[in-house]
């Protein structure tokens, strides 16, 4: 099964029967945010909110990537890992 749009990829991740590892989840999150919003312009989370900081940093690592390229990479990555989680 191959998906071709961002919407199909998002829908597929919701069908996963087990949870991807944290590294994969961060990559999914960062590519999705870059694809839908572009570069991370938000404030860095402070204090001890480690999850928010990890998500912020993952998205920040995608900076400069076009929405189109991030969309392609998101779809490709979801296709790649879907066999492990469906």
d(CA 71, CA 77): 10
Provide the 10 A C-beta neighbour count for residue 31: 26
User: pTM (2 decimals)?
Assistant: 0.94
What's the CATH number for 6-85? 1.20.80.10
- Dump pLDDT digits (tens) for 22-50: 999 999 999 999 999 999 999 999 889 99
Contact 35, 71 (CB under 8 A): yes
Listed by start position, the domains of the chain span 6-85
Average pLDDT over residues 70-85: 97
The H helix count followed by the E strand count for the chain is 4, 0
């Amino acid at each position: 099964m191959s998906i071709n749009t961002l919407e199909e990829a998002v829908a597929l991740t919701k069908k996963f029967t087990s949870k991807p590892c944290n590294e994969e989840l961060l990559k999914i999150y960062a590519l999705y945010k870059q694809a839908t919003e572009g570069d991370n312009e938000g404030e860095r989370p402070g204090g001890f909110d480690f999850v928010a900081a990890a998500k912020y940093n993952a998205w920040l690592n995608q900076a400069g990537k076009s929405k189109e390229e991030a969309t392609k990479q998101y779809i490709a990555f979801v296709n790649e890992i879907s066999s492990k989680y469906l």
